[in-house]
Amino acid sequence: MSVTIAQLQKWKQQKKPIAALTATDYAIAKLLDKAGVDMILVGDSLAMVSLGHKNTLPVTLDDMIHHAQAVGRGVENALLIVDLPFLSYQVSTEQAMQSAGRIFKETNAKGIKLEGGYPDMVETIRKLVQAGMPVMGHVGLTPQSVHRLGYRVQGVTPESAEEILDQAKALVEAGIFSLLLENIPAELAAKITDLIPIPTIGIGAGKECNGQILVTHDVLGLSDWQPPFARKYADLQSTITNAVKDYCQDVRQKSDR
């Protein structure tokens, strides 16, 4: 049975944790879906893990749609969410509407995710929701603001923690269906989770969120750099490298294997 946004809301009330991961291609998406992941995010982190960029900024809307189309072909049950990339929604509400509309028209996405909770962004999200587009919010460390925020923990001072809390409240009021909390203190994430009526999904935000998400390449040991909060459940870099070495050796030795 396909996971729905309404189910996520129910799971929060039932205190059922939500398992989420990222995907950027058909093969991985199909495996994640088969394994029982509740939510799959086509995140703009594909800029690094699939396209080789240093951060998320270079990825385009066309890139996101291309990868989301591939992922969507592999997903039958998980809730599919797609990131709006940098400068595809910040210029104006009209631009955001057009970008989001393309994702919903050209992929199997059931929702989109936007970064930030400042007043202009809140109003943009309100308009998207009013137009019938489910939106997931994202506060704390917002990677599209890397040149301003860096990759450090956010919300560590009372003032910055209060700002993130206010953003969360404003986004809920604007109509988001879920809120991603990235790289903030666990105490702040727990406070937000208790306060708001929609599910929170954490990444580097402690265990008290309603769900957790990681970049699948980190989980499978495919990344060159491992975030300190990301547990590596496999070491596929070594597995794949050794398998390919064995294959190359067999070919060069004209082995019968």
Compute CA distances 86 → 35, 99, 244, whole Å.
Answer: 31, 11, 36
Homologous superfamily (CATH) of 5-252 is Phosphoenolpyruvate-binding domains (3.20.20.60)
pLDDT band at residue 63, thresholds of 50, 70 and 90?
A: very high
What is the C-alpha separation between 138 and 181, in angstroms, rounded?
Answer: 6
pLDDT band at residue 257, thresholds of 50, 70 and 90?
A: low
Predicted confidence (pLDDT) per residue in 138-195, tens digit: 999 999 999 999 889 999 999 999 999 999 999 999 999 999 999 999 999 999 999 9
Q: What predicted TM-score, i.e. pTM, was given to this entire model? A: 0.96
Q: List the catalytic residues.
A: 182
Query: What single letter denotes the amino acid at residue 177?
Result: F
Instruction: Give the 3-state secondary structure percentages of the chain, helix then strand then coil, rounded to 5.
Output: 45, 15, 40
Predicted confidence (pLDDT) per residue in 85-128, tens digit: 999 999 999 999 999 999 999 999 999 999 999 999 999 999 99
Predicted confidence (pLDDT) per residue in 197-215, tens digit: 999 999 999 999 999 999 9
Predicted confidence (pLDDT) per residue in 28-37, tens digit: 999 999 999 9
Supply the pLDDT for residue 1.
76
